[in-house]
Amino acid sequence: MTTRTDDDGETARPIENRDDLLSVFIDGEKRREDWRIGTEHEKFVYRCADHRAPSWEEPGGIRDLLLGLTEFGWRPVEENRKVIALSGPDGTVSLEPAGQFELSGAALENLHQTCSEAARNLEQCKAVGDRLGLGFLGLGMWPDKTRAELPIMPKGRYAIMLRHMPRVGNLGLDMMLRTCTIQVNLDYASEADMVKKFRVGLALQPVATALFANSPITEGQPNGYKSFRSHIWEDTDPHRTGMLPFVFEDGFGYERYCDYALDVPMYFVFRDGQYIDVAGESFRAFLDGKLPQLPGEKPRLSDFTDHLSTAFPEVRLKSFLEMRGADGGRWSRICALPALWVGLLYADEALDAAWDRVKHWSIAEREQLRHDVPRLALETPVPGGGKMLDLAREVVEIASMGLTRRAVLNAAGDNEGGFLDPLRDVVASGMTPADRLLDKYSGEWGGDISRVYEEMSF
């Protein structure tokens, strides 16, 4: 999640009218040659000695892991005089609520750079982790930890969210404490381009969920899902999650998404280095100077960008589009997710082909697909007949075509299509990461989930 620093310059100015709100989206428009790829990935941190999740403050814990990374040029970011993030040329290293370690990568030109960035981050984390006795696990959900066993990181926004989540859903705390994801952030050229990419991204997000399904075990037992992480979002907070049916309505654009965002209840306001709890309040009231916790004060532009980061639909619009449907996974999958979406959305022929595949689906069909895929993954029935495996195979082929059309080569002359290989393996074998994990669990591991640390760490 976003790591906040104090306002300065443009972000500190008050919002004067609706155009200021819309400017966040309009200013995201970029020429095709300026489109970039921003990849985020999270990983679980554990003590090698006993597989315990380390706290922030303990010797050799999360704080020391952050500080250890400064030897690679990362700069500390503090909140209340505690290091809670790092910034550097490769983006930002930040903490999820229970210490899940996240790289929010830099905006890069191509997938070769993206994969090199991920590899650098993992090498750095492992170098420091080896000294501290820490390991890193690439899954979508802790396979053995209860909520009570997990630490809480010292970030003000998390304290507010932890209090609020149980008021609006049953699984929000699991989302915060027990899950990891891979995401990719992509650009758009215009409002019309954003709309088309948003629609394709939303409709096909269940395909990514199926291909990356990697959270089938909870507290040491199969949980009945291939992606329990994805299911968790169905019972987190209905006001800020879901498939956003209005995105497919005629006339959708920046204005309509702005209205949606204004209707999402608030979490916090950041002032003077502190988070003020305004959970459940209305941003519209804030615009009118009627926020009970800050009477008479109106929001800054930074308050709106903060607020946009607290909506969690399957695809999220800020000054770019975020694809949010995938479980966490190991190194090759960190490269495969941006490859999938860049292939689909950054080449016109591929984007057109993807839209032709999904444009006739009804709202009910899209919702049903989203509901079924966490449990069934590649066995999910899809609109028009057939199974998700068939659709996933077709989508991977479209993405491959898109990457071939991009023709971005590395020094060896390879295009970006090789980063899709883990997904080609899934559609060729019919086995998701979750299926392989369940096979090991019930087979050679004999139900001993502790084996996951030996065989599925980075």
Q: How confident is the model at residue 7 (pLDDT cuts 50, 70, 90)?
A: low
Name the amino acid, one letter, at 196: K
Q: How confident is the model at residue 10 (pLDDT cuts 50, 70, 90)?
A: low
Predicted confidence at residue 306, as pLDDT, reads 97
The closest alpha carbon to 85, from 177, 138, 185, 158, belongs to 158
Q: How confident is the model at residue 4 (pLDDT cuts 50, 70, 90)?
A: low
- Between CA 152 and CA 160 the distance in angstroms is 12
Convert the pLDDT of each residue in 210-258 to its tens digit: 999 999 999 999 999 999 999 999 999 999 999 999 999 999 999 999 9
Q: How confident is the model at residue 8 (pLDDT cuts 50, 70, 90)?
A: low
| 9-455 CATH choice from 1.10.3720.10, 3.40.630.30, 3.30.590.20, 3.40.190.10 | 3.30.590.20
> In angstroms, what CA-CA distances link 208 with 120, 344, 435, 455?
25, 12, 15, 24
As a whole number, mean pLDDT of residues 344-364 equals 98
The closest alpha carbon to 343, from 305, 397, 379, belongs to 397
Predicted confidence at residue 20, as pLDDT, reads 97
Predicted confidence at residue 357, as pLDDT, reads 98
Q: Buried b vs exposed e over 91-110: b needs ≥16 C-beta within 10 Å?
A: bbbbbbbbbbbbbbbbebeb
Predicted confidence at residue 1, as pLDDT, reads 52
In this prediction the pTM is 0.96
DSSP code string of 232-278 = HGGGT-TTSEE--GGGGSTT-SHHHHHHHHHHSPP-EEEETTEEEE-
Convert the pLDDT of each residue in 369-387 to its tens digit: 999 999 999 999 999 999 9
Predicted confidence at residue 12, as pLDDT, reads 76
Residue boundaries of the structural domains of the chain: 9-455
Predicted confidence at residue 3, as pLDDT, reads 58
Predicted confidence at residue 203, as pLDDT, reads 98
Q: How confident is the model at residue 5 (pLDDT cuts 50, 70, 90)?
A: low
C-alpha dihedral sign at 255, 257, 262, 263: positive
As a whole number, mean pLDDT of residues 343-367 equals 98
* Six-digit token string for 159: 């304290």
The closest alpha carbon to 275, from 162, 426, 385, 195, belongs to 162
Q: How confident is the model at residue 6 (pLDDT cuts 50, 70, 90)?
A: low
Predicted confidence at residue 247, as pLDDT, reads 98
Name the amino acid, one letter, at 226: K
C-alpha dihedral sign at 204, 215, 379, 420: positive
